[in-house]
Amino acid sequence: MSSFELNITLNGVTYNVEVEKVNKNSAAQPKAAVVAAPAAQPIAAPVAAAKPASAPAAVAAGDTSLNAPLPGKVIRIVAKAGSAVKKGDVVMILEAMKMQNEIASPVDGTVKSIQVSDGQNVKPGEQLAIIG
């Protein structure tokens, strides 16, 4: 009977297996189970260099920087630059781990600038807005 080898990749691990063609009419004969050892580890795909985070805007005396409390994706900006906000008002919605988190203003004031855009991924501590 003929046999041939195949490389199979499962979850990033490549296995070298041998496959044997069996005659349909022959009675099946039990054989010892063979577990294939992993072949050489797969070569990692090149990762695109992450774009550098923009430098945070300067915060003037009396202004407050609103920073991301956790990593996530900005899915909606509620307050626009120039909007008056009260402490606790929602400034934007940040999605993290399939949950929508309301990012609220920590102070009463006016939104001086929004430092992010819809759909942007942010890191913890990244500046989202300036409120003065």
- Per-chain mean pLDDT for the chain: 80
With CA atoms as reference, report the closest residue to 78 among 114, 107, 108, 109.
114
Predicted confidence (pLDDT) at residue 39 exceeds the cutoff of 60: no
Question: Using CA atoms, how far apart are residues 21 and 132, in angstroms rounded to an integer?
Answer: 75
Predicted confidence (pLDDT) at residue 80 exceeds the cutoff of 90: yes
Window from 23-27, 45-49, 108-112 with minimum mean pLDDT: 45-49
Question: Using CA atoms, how far apart are residues 126 and 64, in angstroms rounded to an integer?
Answer: 13
Question: Using CA atoms, how far apart are residues 71 and 118, in angstroms rounded to an integer?
Answer: 15
pLDDT tens profile 88-103: 999 999 999 889 999 9
Are 85 and 110 contacting, i.e. CB atoms less than 8 angstroms apart?
yes
Predicted confidence (pLDDT) at residue 22 exceeds the cutoff of 60: yes
Question: Using CA atoms, how far apart are residues 109 and 131, in angstroms rounded to an integer?
Answer: 6
